[in-house]
Amino acid sequence: MHKSYCLEVAGDFACFTRPEMKVERVSYDVMTPSAARAIFEAIIWKPALQWRVTRIEVLKPIRWISVRRNEVGAIASTRNVQTAMGSGSGDLGFYVEDERQQRAGLFLRDVAYRLHAYFELRDPSFHKPHFPHLSKATVNRGEEDLCAMPDNNAVKFLSMFERRASRGQCVNQPYLGCREFACSFRLVEDMREEPQPIEETRDLGWMLYDLDYSVSAHPKPRFFPARMVNGAVVVPAWESEEVRG
Amino acid sequence: MILQALYDYYQRKPDLPREGFESKEIPFVIEVSKNGSAVQIEDTRTLDGKKKRAKNYLIPQAAKKSVNVAANILWGNAEYVLGLPDEQKLTDRRGKGKEREYEDRLKDMHAAFVDAVKALSERVQTDEGVQAVLKFIDQTKPADLERFGEIWKEIRSTNPNMTFRLQGDLELVCQRPSVINALNEAESGKGGDGICLLTGQKVKIERLHPPIKGVWGAQTSGANVVSFNLPSFTSWGKEQGGNAPVGEKAAFAYTTALNYLLARDSKQRIQIGDASTVFWADKPSSLEDQFADLFGEPPKDDPDRNARAIKALYEAPKHGIAPVDDVQTRFFVLGLSPNAARIAIRFWHVGTVAKLVKNIQQHFDDIEIDCPPYEKRYLSLWRLLVATATQNKSDNIPPNLGGELMRAILSGQPYPSSLLQNAVRRIRAEREVTYPRSAIVKACLNRARKTHEKELLMSLDEDNTDVAYLLGRLFFVLEEAQWAAHSTKTNPGTNTTIRDRFYGAASATPVTVFPQLLRLYPHHISKAAKSGRKGIAVRLEKLVDDITSKLPATNPFPSYMAISDQGRFAVGYYHQRHNFFSPNHSE
């Protein structure tokens, strides 16, 4: 049995962008599992850790705000970079004034969530080759050898997470869907004194669960039928049948 | 959720075009007998205002074409269907010496039309209607149709769209069951390559979604809700529709539903500021029919339409009309505005019909204020918005305000603060406390009211001791005294009244204005009394005494008033003026 942790996060704005409306952005009504995962990862993450979100509770009524912002429409050209690398010099500038795009967004405002998640240690044989520079051991070490390594045990990471989360430490500032919507967080240890989530039940439709990075060059999105019951979305396991993609 | 709701709406409406079909205006229908002879040509157009408009038919979706030859199934313009040259084009080409080329092209077009029918499955070929059409094409030359006189002349000169009907049938040939089945089969034969995020099924993913037409300000050819038209909008090297996997069927369904809601004569659309707003329920509901009447500007030939709708809204619970189902029935409101070839979602509201009705009633309660008999009692959203815009022009309504206002109404939350600010600013700039403006101010203040503050009433509230409200009342009385002193039968009033000169200062910094006005006022009263307006003078004096006695003894005139106080000032002024002129008081 894994130990489950609960974080309370709150922020002024949030945008959990729907993929179908990511140009003129529209948020999902409720935080997506991948956004919740990113918050846990902001506190502690390494290749061996995999956060699994189990439950998302909505603490404040769902409210919206419509905002227009200036962004750019172009992306830097790979070819220009390659040419510049070849010749040793070149113009890699990016002129915002020429590439201006006004984009509208329908964001959430004044949000607070309680996120429940646990983590697992990943089978190192998969990720080790991808992150050789992060590994203290050589890539060629045998499997059994790796599992027996004393520094890769769950207890160590559990206590690391508890310590960091309770002190408010993080690797990067956790955010609500988009980096610009930073949020505060708090480790919830005793659920008995916490407020109830909002009294609302609604069908949220098919929601983005996360991207499947197993083919890292072509990550594939996976979706699940989300339903908020009395303010809580129960997130099915990644491997379960309802999760499709 | 937005696309899903539209998708569900499409499933709910069986009369929307099925996949592979679209709704199009077809002016002429050729009726053929079983042996392929033309019985008659029906002109489906009817007068709509000054213009003739053809009837809409569900027909197989148009082939995408630009300069190439591409025929539609069982319908097309006269060039395709009959191989009939377009007179205009013919003379044009003749002038350029390209007559032969046009004739060749015409042959190709007609042949493509026949081939398109023959390419359908064998079952379709044996269909009576289709056979009749093929026989008709075989036997008939354009010249044979000249017997249809006027209609024929018009077809020759306008190259209109046309299609076929079998004699004795009600539906068109392209609507016969075997044709529909054949088209459906052709659509479902495509293999799946991804998970549709609307249905969760493995289907073929749409690369480019059909365009949405009818959003004001967007391109007339249509714009897109789901599109990835610039490189920075894509992720992970995916292209176009691959960024947001939506199945072809689902994409067709949601766009068809949205286009239907946005259509020109749709009863389920309304323009709010710059947002084209559509609304629908997930089950048939009377609110679906009433919504536009509640918020829209009533048509000129039926000015009471919104009053009736609002009355019905209030009375529905009384008569028990609102069924219990409405607690479950969900209602969707979607505001769309154009943004550079794309369509942005301005607002999106989902609520149950019952809750929504309550919120809408609350809005009309909040907005209600006494008005002169010549004004319309219920204010449409447009009238409210335009009252806050410079020069009362729709173009000057701040963008986003309409959407924010609608959101506030539907969700029952406080009105946007910019609404109050704009209304107060317009009042000060024009020194006109109009009916819609005071209604807005009253509604905004009441909704944002803290518990200890007194609610602003519909009409004059003599017990309200709020300083700003009292000063507003006092200001009107002082203005009226000035008018009574100066106006005579031949000269109505003065050129510049104290309102013209002092309204702004009086409402924002009372201490700089009121002492001076109160010094002038006894002179105005005595002059009015001397020039035969004794009655009015007495009444005004009573009012001033009454108001000033309610003002605090120390520091009665604040040195500065915030926006909300300026709002109360305006409402006080409006209430007092309305009360003063209402029939049961005036002399």
User: What is the per-residue pLDDT for A12?
Assistant: 95
Query: Measured between CA atoms, how close is A65 to chain B, in angstroms?
Result: 8
Query: Measured between CA atoms, how close is A72 to chain B, in angstroms?
Result: 7
Strand ranges for B97-170 from DSSP E: 161-166
State phi, psi for A201 to the nearest 5 degrees.
Answer: -125, 120
User: What is the per-residue pLDDT for A108?
Assistant: 94
pLDDT tens-digit series, residues A183-212: 999 999 888 888 899 998 988 989 999 998
Whether B233 and chain A come into contact, CB under 8 Å, resolves to yes
Using the beta-carbon criterion (under 8 Å), do B339 and A218 form an inter-chain contact? no
Q: Which residues contact A40 (CB under 8 A, 6 or more apart)?
A: A5, A7, A51, A53, A115, A117, A119
Tell me how far apart the alpha carbons of residues A219 and A29 are, in angstroms, rounded to a whole number.
24
Residue B436 near residue B382 (C-beta atoms within 8 A): no
Query: Measured between CA atoms, how close is A62 to chain B, in angstroms?
Result: 11
Question: Pick from B5, B201, B193, B249: which is nearest to A242 by CA?
Answer: B201
Using the beta-carbon criterion (under 8 Å), do A221 and B343 form an inter-chain contact? no
Neighbour count for residue B93 (Cβ, 10 Å): 18
Q: Residue B232: which of A66, A75, A219 has the nearest Cβ? A: A75
Using the beta-carbon criterion (under 8 Å), do B344 and A63 form an inter-chain contact? no
User: What is the per-residue pLDDT for B587?
Assistant: 42
Query: Measured between CA atoms, how close is B203 to chain A, in angstroms?
Result: 11
DSSP 8-state assignment for residue B245: -
Residue-level length of chain A: 245
Q: Which residues contact A42 (CB under 8 A, 6 or more apart)?
A: A170, A171, A172, A173, A174, A175
Query: Measured between CA atoms, how close is A43 to chain B, in angstroms?
Result: 25
CA distances from B340 to A216, B227, B343 (A): 34, 12, 8
Using the beta-carbon criterion (under 8 Å), do B345 and A29 form an inter-chain contact? no
Residues 57-116 of chain A with CB under 8 A from chain B are: 63-64, 66, 68, 71-75, 101-104, 106
Neighbour count for residue B500 (Cβ, 10 Å): 12
Q: Give this prediction's pTM.
A: 0.79
State phi, psi for B511 to the nearest 5 degrees.
Answer: -65, -25
Whether B239 and chain A come into contact, CB under 8 Å, resolves to no
DSSP-derived 3-state class of residue B75? strand
Q: Residue A72: which of B200, B232, B348 has the nearest Cβ? A: B232
Q: Around B219, how many Cα atoms within 13 Å sit in the side-chain half-sphere?
A: 12
User: What is the per-residue pLDDT for A224?
Assistant: 93
Give DSSP secondary structure letters for chain A: -PPPEEEEEEEEEE--B-GGGTTTEEB-SS--HHHHHHHHHHHS--TTEEEEEEEEEE-S---EEEEEEEEE-----HHHHHHHHHHS-------TTTSEEEEEEEEEEEEEEEEEEEEEEPPHHHHGGG-GGG-SS-TT--HHHHHT-TT--HHHHHHHHHHHHHHT--SS--BSSSTTSB-EEEEE--GGGSPPPPS--EEEEEEEEEEE-SSTTS-EEEEEEEEEETTEEEPPPTTSTT-B-
User: What is the per-residue pLDDT for A134?
Assistant: 60
Tell me how far apart the alpha carbons of residues A72 and B232 are, in angstroms, rounded to a whole number.
7
* Chain B environment of A18 (Cβ under 8 Å): 244
**Which chain B residue has its CA at the smallest distance from A227's CA?**
B1
Whether B237 and chain A come into contact, CB under 8 Å, resolves to yes
Q: Which residues in chain B land under pLDDT 50? A: 586-587
pLDDT at A135 over 70: no
Using the beta-carbon criterion (under 8 Å), do B348 and A64 form an inter-chain contact? yes
Whether A225 and chain B come into contact, CB under 8 Å, resolves to yes
ipTM here: 0.84
Tell me how far apart the alpha carbons of residues A84 and A95 are, in angstroms, rounded to a whole number.
17
* Chain B environment of A208 (Cβ under 8 Å): 197
Amino acid identity, residue B506? Answer: A
* Res. A42 pLDDT band, cuts 50 70 90: very high
DSSP-derived 3-state class of residue B513? coil
List own/partner pairs for B88-94 with CB under 8 A and 24 or more apart.
B88/B157, B88/B159, B89/B159
DSSP-derived 3-state class of residue B196? coil
Whether A245 and chain B come into contact, CB under 8 Å, resolves to yes
Residue B82 near residue B138 (C-beta atoms within 8 A): no
Tell me how far apart the alpha carbons of residues B327 and B533 are, in angstroms, rounded to a whole number.
60
Amino acid identity, residue B207? Answer: R
List own/partner pairs for B283-288 with CB under 8 A and 24 or more apart.
B283/B12, B283/B325, B283/B329, B285/B326, B285/B329, B285/B331, B285/B353, B286/B316, B286/B321, B287/B326, B287/B331, B287/B353, B287/B356, B287/B357, B288/B331
